[in-house]
A = this chain, B = another copy of it.
Amino acid sequence: ASASGEGEEGRDYDAETQKALEEIDACQNEIDALNEKASEEILKVEQKYNKLRKPYFEKRNDIIKRIPNFWVTAFVNHPQISAILEEDEEDCLHYLSKLEVEEFEDIKSGYRINFHFEENPYFENDVLTKEFHLGSSGDPASQSTPIRWKEGNDLTKKGKEKNVGKGRKRAMEQKTFFNWFTDHGDPSADDIAEVIKDDMWPNPLQYYLVPDIEVENGVEGEDD
């Protein structure tokens, strides 16, 4: 709807109202142009700080490599991530040597989580990536690296077999780490990806450091 009619276009506004509507329309265009400029400036600030943060994230990853099992420990201590970690998956994540979250240059369009793995008994891949971007329809979409499982060690299949005998309730709870990784059903509500991007990645140290407190309280004793 635009107020810039040629005068006889079927709207029965009087001349004075028609003139006022055109003036509002012009004023609105100035406001829209300012909104556009504001968005661009904010995007530039975000891009600038993404660049400034990057060397610190890289340095942090270099230091993290000197600590055995840093990431698996942080994951196990994170309430939402540990909730989906099966025992086998936790063993697998001992080979997780590096985590990276990359926001795309234009930021709004998406981000990527890279899981770097050492040689391991589970799959051939060195890097598993789950990526979120705006699809052609403008809605969020996700995709992830196809996992080349090694014979007999496909953890998504193991999970399913294990759950066969355990009834419906267990089957419904079957949200596991690798099911999450390979699931693209509702990318705009991918809680685990958001937790990794917005909570784990900004400050993983807090999660690595939690366990001692819990060990003191005997929480780790579940295997006894």
Contact = CB atoms under 8 A, between A and B. Distances in A.
Interface residues of A, number: 47
A20 B53 contact: no
Interface stretch (A130-138, A141-149, A154-162, A202-210): A202-210
A212 to B, nearest CB: 6
A134 to B, nearest CB: 21
Interface string A42-80: 100110110011001101100110111000000000000
A195 interface: no
B60 A28 contact: yes
Contacts of A30: 56
- The copy count of this chain in the complex is 2
A34 interface: yes
Contact of A56 (B20, B31, B45): B31
A189 B11 CA distance: 38
A41 interface: yes
A20 B53 CA distance: 19
A67 B209 contact: no
B17 A67 contact: yes
B27 A59 contact: yes
A38 B46 contact: yes
Nearest to A16: B66
A92 interface: no
A23 interface: yes
Contacts of A27: 56, 59-60, 63
Interface of A: 1-3, 10-12, 16-17, 20-21, 23-25, 27-28, 30-32, 34-35, 37-38, 41-42, 45-46, 48-49, 52-53, 56-57, 59-60, 63-64, 66-68, 202-203, 205-206, 208-210, 212
Report the 7 A-B pairs with minimum CB-CB distance, sorted nearest first.
Answer: A38-B49, A1-B209, A20-B66, A27-B60, A41-B45, A23-B63, A31-B56
